[in-house]
């Protein structure tokens, strides 16, 4: 099969998802892939990776550029569209939607190339402002030939908004990216007999729905337990982290974190914590597993699907401060537990959510999408 993989975001997991998916489909499944990423993608700051991007697209860096370049979108996409018309790939897949995807989808449909959308979220998270992005995603899902959701929780949500009848659909968990380009050292398990405070990491986009106040209240209940908490990520509002910042044993690294910086934070930690009050799934979880770190989480959304209680982490009984405090206390007092759960987390990353395990599932779905389109044309 010949597959077009694209994602035109500049930051976050989207470009890496596309980059590693294209490479995995080629190296593991023997497919011919063509990759299109945004010219300014953070991943492409490593110039050695640029040769693997067949169609870099300069998108926009601000609102003014977005308006001006959107008006010129036909010319911008022309080289890619000409290739699609000439080569007629069997299928296309976008790993995370953006504002310009609708223009490419229109061309794909006209040319007759079936496409698949990976849906990360089905609803707006509390406090998020990207209502247009969600509208565009639903529009694309309605037109898509294939749909991938990353948790069954999101699959159920999508099904309430979009009729999936007649579409090829699969739930495939978020992979543990291999980060081969970072040339990371092998992960080291947390100390089995530590004689220092438990180290917890809260990383990623630090937004209110991610339970910042909930965690602050939980930690306040653990005044007698030695804990070091590190916050690493971009805060939506500076005041959102104020309650946590006021607690003893808390250090803060506010700002956008590169993949390499996040790995360094993970290697410092004994475990990561996701005290979310709402979630679809978490990109931090597979990243943590990849570095042999257990995850503490609340039982919301798709998190219980990602974190296997007592095997790769601990899932609190409820979204209450006392229940979050209880699992933190357990991890702090049982000094060997983080080590044991870290072993399970790393095993899960290597065996069950690695590209070797998941790339064939993506290839199978794309094959079904291509065959379904061919059968409809020949009918």
Strand 115-119 with 91-94, pairing? parallel
Ordered by start, the domain boundaries in the chain are 2-175+354-378, 184-351
CATH fold of 184-351: Rossmann fold (3.40.50)
Question: What is the rounded CA–CA span in Å between residue 295 and residue 301?
Answer: 15
Task: Evaluate if residue 90 carries a pLDDT over 80.
Answer: yes
- CA gyration radius, the chain: 21
Question: What is the rounded CA–CA span in Å between residue 198 and residue 173?
Answer: 29
Task: Evaluate if residue 77 carries a pLDDT over 70.
Answer: yes
- pLDDT band for position 224 (50/70/90)? confident
Residues whose CB is less than 8 angstroms from the CB of residue 31 and which lie 6 or more positions away in sequence, other chains included = 1, 2, 3, 25, 363, 366
End-to-end CA distance of the chain: 21
Question: What is the rounded CA–CA span in Å between residue 356 and residue 111?
Answer: 32
Predicted confidence at residue 121, as pLDDT, reads 86
Task: Evaluate if residue 130 carries a pLDDT over 80.
Answer: no
Range 347-371 average pLDDT: 97
Question: What is the rounded CA–CA span in Å between residue 269 and residue 257?
Answer: 16
Task: Evaluate if residue 128 carries a pLDDT over 70.
Answer: no
Q: What is the dihedral of CA 59, 139, 23, 202, to 10 degrees?
A: 80
Range 325-342 average pLDDT: 96
Enter the tokens of residue 177: 């990216």
**SS3 (DSSP) at 132:** helix
Range 29-40 average pLDDT: 95
Is the four-CA dihedral 197, 203, 206, 208 of positive or negative sign? negative
Ranking 144-148, 200-204, 248-252 by mean pLDDT, the lowest is: 248-252
Q: Please, are residues 334 and 312 in contact by the beta-carbon 8 Å criterion?
A: no
Predicted confidence at residue 371, as pLDDT, reads 92
Enter the tokens of residue 139: 């529009």
Task: Evaluate if residue 41 carries a pLDDT over 90.
Answer: no
Predicted confidence at residue 190, as pLDDT, reads 96
Task: Evaluate if residue 379 carries a pLDDT over 60.
Answer: no
Q: Please, are residues 46 and 69 in contact by the beta-carbon 8 Å criterion?
A: no
Question: What is the rounded CA–CA span in Å between residue 176 and residue 181?
Answer: 14
Going by the DSSP 8-state scheme, the letter that residue 4 receives in this structure is: E
Question: What is the rounded CA–CA span in Å between residue 270 and residue 266?
Answer: 8
Q: Please, are residues 349 and 290 in contact by the beta-carbon 8 Å criterion?
A: yes
CATH code given to domain 2-175+354-378: 3.40.50.2000
pTM of this prediction? Answer: 0.93
Question: What is the rounded CA–CA span in Å between residue 183 and residue 191?
Answer: 23
C-alpha triplet 68, 74, 75: angle, nearest 5°:
80
Task: Evaluate if residue 47 carries a pLDDT over 60.
Answer: yes
Range 76-92 average pLDDT: 96
Predicted confidence at residue 240, as pLDDT, reads 79
Question: Which residues are 171's β-sheet partners?
Answer: 149
Range 64-69 average pLDDT: 92
Question: What is the rounded CA–CA span in Å between residue 70 and residue 77?
Answer: 10
Predicted confidence at residue 49, as pLDDT, reads 86
How buried is 226 (Cβ within 10 angstroms: 0-12 exposed, 13-18 middle, 19+ buried)? exposed
């Amino acid at each position: 099969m010949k597959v077009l993989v694209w994602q035109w975001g500049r930051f976050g997991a989207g470009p890496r998802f596309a980059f590693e998916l294209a490479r995995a489909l080629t190296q593991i499944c023997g497919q011919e892939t063509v990759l299109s990423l945004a010219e300014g993608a953070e991943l492409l700051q490593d110039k050695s990776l640029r040769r693997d991007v067949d169609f870099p697209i300069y998108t926009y860096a601000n609102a003014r550029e977005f308006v001006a370049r959107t008006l010129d979108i036909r010319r911008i996409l022309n080289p890619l569209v000409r290739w699609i018309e000439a080569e007629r790939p069997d299928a296309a897949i976008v790993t995370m939607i953006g504002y310009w995807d609708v223009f490419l989808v229109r061309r794909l449909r006209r040319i007759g190339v079936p496409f698949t959308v990976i849906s990360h979220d089905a609803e707006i998270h509390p406090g998020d402002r990207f209502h247009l992005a969600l509208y565009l995603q639903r529009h694309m899902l309605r037109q898509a030939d294939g749909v991938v959701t990353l948790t069954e929780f999101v699959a159920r949500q999508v099904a309430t908004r979009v009729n999936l009848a007649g579409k090829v659909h699969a739930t495939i968990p978020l992979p543990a990216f291999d980060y081969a380009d970072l040339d990371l050292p092998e992960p080291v398990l947390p100390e089995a007999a530590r004689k220092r405070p438990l180290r917890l990491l809260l990383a990623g986009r630090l937004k209110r729905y991610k339970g910042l106040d909930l965690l602050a209240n939980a930690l306040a209940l653990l005044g007698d337990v030695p804990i070091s908490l590190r916050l690493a990520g971009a805060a939506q509002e500076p005041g959102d982290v104020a309650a946590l910042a006021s607690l003893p044993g808390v250090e803060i690294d506010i700002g956008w974190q590169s993949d390499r910086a996040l790995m360094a934070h993970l290697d410092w930690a004994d475990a990561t914590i996701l005290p979310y009050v709402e979630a679809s799934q978490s990109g931090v979880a597979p990243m943590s597993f990849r570095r042999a770190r257990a995850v503490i989480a609340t039982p919301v959304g798709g998190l219980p699907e990602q974190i296997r209680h007592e095997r790769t982490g601990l899932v609190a009984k409820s979204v209450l401060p006392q229940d979050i405090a209880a699992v933190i206390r357990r991890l702090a007092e049982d000094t060997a537990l983080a080590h044991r759960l870290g072993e399970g987390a790393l095993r899960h990353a290597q065996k069950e959510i690695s590209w070797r395990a998941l790339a064939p599932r993506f290839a199978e779905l794309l094959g079904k999408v291509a065959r379904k389109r061919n059968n409809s044309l020949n009918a």
